Amino acid sequence: MADDRNAAKPPASAAPAKTRTSPGEFIRQVRTEASKVVWPTRQETITTAIFVGILTVILSLFFLGIDSVFGNVVEWLLTLA
């Protein structure tokens, strides 16, 4: 009775056996998949780079301001002690 519950059961969704591919076949598959990629145009790349640069500057100024405010608050609190 206890043996029935403890008997090893095969997994419900066993993975199929994987076959090995040769290096040449692998490179062919990589080239096939790379040809399916829709690469951004030069204009899209430039626009995205400018956008990232602007956001980086804005966020760095924001965090500089927050850090300065917290630094001044801490200095003020330390002068009270």
Cα angle 35-40-46, degrees, rounded to a multiple of 5: 150
pLDDT more than 70, % of the chain: 81
Task: Give residue 20's pLDDT.
Answer: 85
What are the boundaries of each domain within the chain? Answer: 53-81
The CA-atom distances, in angstroms, between 77 and each of 68, 70, 72, 74 are: 14, 10, 9, 5
Terminal-residue alpha carbon distance, the chain = 74
| In the predicted structure, residue 76 carries a pLDDT above the cut 90 | yes
> CA–CA separation, 28 vs 38, rounded Å?
18
Mean per-residue pLDDT of the chain = 89
pLDDT in tens, 8-28: 666 666 667 788 889 999 999
pLDDT above 90 for 64 = yes
Q: Indicate if the pLDDT at residue 55 is higher than 60.
A: yes
